[in-house]
Amino acid sequence: MEKMLRDKKAIFLFTFPTFLLFTIIVVLPIFFSIHYSTLDWDGFSKGVFVGFTNYKNLFVNNTDGFLQSVANSLVLALISVGIQLPISLLLALILARGIKGERFFRTVYFIPVIISTVVIGQLWMKIYNSDYGMLNGVLRAVGLDSLTNAWLADSKTALACVFAAMLWQYVGYHMLLLYAGAKSISPDIYEAARIDGASELKIAFHITIPLMKSILCVCIIFAVTGSFKAFDLIYVMTGGGPLHSTEVPTTLMYTTIFSRYQYGYGSAMAIFIIAECLVFTLVIKRLFSNDQDEA
């Protein structure tokens, strides 16, 4: 009993500093934001309590096109799960087979993840530039001048262009997670399947992917919540424009707080983003847990 008590004291001693730091950096700011979201406050003068007026302006009055920004973030999340993750999974399965140059390709695909997002934003802005950009240059070179466009200045193409940059940046991140999951599967399982005459395609769909459900769940959560929290790349490339076509809650929140000095209204957006990420995380985890229970 004394040994267990000593262990509990040691556990508390080592975990308390982390718990305290987490409370100060994460928990307290959330509660402060909840309080600020009930105020009409410019960040300097004394705030006036307005209750749920800020939330009413978000969802009922749709002030500043907030619902459109939410729709844009949902589109990014859907595309991330439907396009980005399948590409990452395909690359991971190919590399996990032990192809020649496996380490080289694994490193190359991961390089965009470690590059500054601001640098990536500037790089893709140059690619999309209507005058000297590489994309329009290639189209002109192959005789498709009619397809050239001011990509980031066109509300019809701006969101897709931003996603292309996001895909390039994070496909290697998800690929590495899925690759680690695939490599952790025992080779004996694959050997037994091949002896039974299973093709590589059947092995992938009936063995590898089902055994990677836990890491797939993590990747989907990261992809969805990452889309909801996306800010820096969008802000650098478009600033939420043109005509709010690439506006997401984070960019609108930043503009509301630091340009219009509406701290209460912007805090309501922050609380919505937190709640949105939490709800979708719980839903995704529940879906995967139900799927595993049925299996």
Range of the domain at 146: 50-294
Q: What is the pTM of this model?
A: 0.89
Check residue 196 and give its pLDDT.
Answer: 84
The verdict on residue 82 lying in a domain is yes
The verdict on residue 137 lying in a domain is yes
CA 281, chain centre distance (Å): 12
The verdict on residue 33 lying in a domain is no
The verdict on residue 3 lying in a domain is no
Check residue 294 and give its pLDDT.
Answer: 57
Cα separation, 187 vs 41, whole angstroms: 60
Check residue 166 and give its pLDDT.
Answer: 93
Check residue 64 and give its pLDDT.
Answer: 82
The verdict on residue 289 lying in a domain is yes
Check residue 212 and give its pLDDT.
Answer: 92
The verdict on residue 235 lying in a domain is yes
The verdict on residue 159 lying in a domain is yes
Check residue 4 and give its pLDDT.
Answer: 54
Check residue 291 and give its pLDDT.
Answer: 65
Number of domains in the chain: 1
Check residue 1 and give its pLDDT.
Answer: 52
Please identify every stretch of the chain with a pLDDT value under 50, giving residue numbers as ranges.
none
Check residue 229 and give its pLDDT.
Answer: 93
The verdict on residue 216 lying in a domain is yes
CATH number at residue 165: 1.10.3720.10
CA 102, chain centre distance (Å): 26
Cα separation, 82 vs 86, whole angstroms: 7
The two three-digit tokens of residue 130, written as one number:
């209507």
